[in-house]
Homo-oligomer: A and B are copies of this chain.
Amino acid sequence: MDYEQAYALNRALRTIGMRHRLLAATELNRLGLSIGQESLIMELAKQGPRTQAQLATAAGCEPPTITSAVQKLEALGLVSRHPSTEDRRATVVELTTEGEALLEGLSAAWIHLAESTVAGLSRTRVEDLIEALADLAASLETASRDLDPRRLT
């Protein structure tokens, strides 16, 4: 790849990351949440109670990030934590009734975020974009996994 292409690609990805995160934070703030918390809530809604290790894998972030996020969600009353009966090292997290009450608003916010994100597209179809982004996300997962010998699975 030549430098011009590389520059355009990296620059677009930096912009996209920062701007989408900013828009997401704005949507979530309206619900009293901050970024990252939504991925845990959605995962718990979809899968039911999960250990923190499972949440880390699902959210694609490291255990300390989960520790901190779960503590904040617990303080908000949106999740509860209890020790696993099967593995005494593990902590199981689950949505509270209050947490479940947030789901509807969260879905709406997430749709609104996605619509704002693509509202200004001028020459790309949304379905094509989603397809390309899923492919890219998978490629980047592979590249990151190769980076870190701990994550060889």
- A8–B26 Cα distance when bound, in Å, is 19
Q: How many residues of A contact B (CB 8 A)?
A: 63
Contact between B138 and A5, CB atoms less than 8 A apart: no
Chain A interface SS verdict (over half): helix
Each complex incorporates copies of this chain amounting to 2
Indicate which residue in B5, B20, B136, B141 contacts A140 across the interface (CB closer than 8 Å).
B20
**Which one, B61, B114, B123, B139, contacts A10 given CB within 8 A?**
B114
Q: Find out whether the CB atom of A16 lies under 8 angstroms from the CB atom of B118.
A: no
Say whether A123 contacts B135, CB under 8 Å.
yes
Chain A contact residues, CB within 8 Å of chain B: 1-3, 5-24, 26, 39, 42, 60-61, 107, 110-111, 113-124, 126-144, 147
